[in-house]
Amino acid sequence: MRAGLYATPVLAAVAMAVLFLHLQGGTVGKLGEIIPRAVGDWHAAGDDAVYDRQTLYDYMDGGAEVYLAFDFREVFSRKYAGPAGAELSLDVFDMGSPAEAFGIFSCDRADPPAGIGQDSEYGFGLLRFRQGRYFVTVGVSNEDEAAADAVLGLGRTVAGLLGPPGPGPDLLELLPAADLRPDRTSFFHSAVNLNNRYFIAAENILGLDRSADCVFAEYGPAPAEPVRLLLVRYPDGARAGAALRSFLASYLPEAGPDGLTRTENGTWVSALLRGNVLSIVFEAPSPDLARDLQASVKTPSK
């Protein structure tokens, strides 16, 4: 670490702030008291800001709906001014729970891991990571080696201030393990998130909303075209059954009683209901593989 890279408060203040954040459910605005205001040649510029569900559009018009589809609570935002007019941006999102933090992180993965927090990635000047119930982005406008060091250094410091790790979504436990591509597995609630991963229909034919938990996973060795598996857990069996009927009528009108059919591109789709969990296999190269993947999905406990 460079000398003078971070100007941190005394350890007691850090401990008290972390305790407030994690045991008392404090606002992310308290982070402004403990996050370093200087990062190498970068210095905090302007006032810190905090946005909630009502004001998020004021901060990120056009991208707010992605966060609002999860249990987003607040975001702490700070800008740093650097050499030659470059800007570094820090955003710490309180997503309400570790599962929701995993969700927002998982829906847009594209870069190599950075080894920061519970899950992370870094590419082209942007660091994204999750820690506990928080999702964090640190980005820089003009990337060079010094700027990258500042981004990653600030990220490591912030991760250490966000408390212990937390569990991911329990729905992940139902996924078959064989041939799973973990870095292509995502958790979400909305049809927008689903269509960003795999387009189903312009309409919300699966009846997705914030009360439904969804996991989308890919299977098979890279770089071969993957087989896709979607799991949706609804609040009750009636909602799940209605979603299955809607999906079959809109997407698989020619499916037989077993919910299996061949699509126009020659691959197979299978839809199966287990209590309040709907599982759908897409892009299977054979009916046997579709059936085998469905049979490998674990039975939900609730």
How far apart are alpha carbons 212 and 34 in whole angstroms?
A: 36
Supply the DSSP symbol for 153: H
- Beta strand segments in 181-289, E: 186-188, 213-219, 227-233, 260-262, 268-274, 277-284
In degrees rounded to 5, what are phi and psi of residue 197? -90, -45
229 with 219: CB under 8 angstroms? yes
Token duo for residue 275: 């209590």
Write down the pLDDT at residue 17. 46
Closest-CA residue to 109 (of 188, 29, 209): 188
**Which whole-number Å values give the CA distances from 193 to 52, 60, 70, 108, 196, in the listed order?**
21, 17, 10, 10, 5
174 with 297: CB under 8 angstroms? yes
How far apart are alpha carbons 75 and 63 in whole angstroms?
A: 13
Residue limits of CATH 3.40.1000 in the chain = 11-161
Q: Which residue has the tokens 């999906």?
A: 247
Supply the DSSP symbol for 10: -
Q: Does domain 11-161 have CATH number 3.40.1000?
A: yes
Write down the pLDDT at residue 2. 37
Write down the pLDDT at residue 84. 86
How far apart are alpha carbons 193 and 230 in whole angstroms?
A: 12
Helix (H, G, I), strand (E, B) or coil at 302: coil
Strands of the 134-140 sheet, one edge to the other: 38-39, 42-52, 74-81, 87-94, 134-140, 126-131, 119-123
Token duo for residue 81: 């001014």
In degrees rounded to 5, what are phi and psi of residue 117? 70, -160
Please name the residues in contact with 74: beta carbons below 8 A apart, sequence gap of 6 or more: 27, 28, 29, 50, 51, 52, 93, 94
Positive or negative CA dihedral for 157, 159, 163, 165? negative
Residues of the chain with pLDDT under 50: 1-24
Write down the pLDDT at residue 225. 92
Write down the pLDDT at residue 224. 87
How far apart are alpha carbons 213 and 228 in whole angstroms?
A: 17
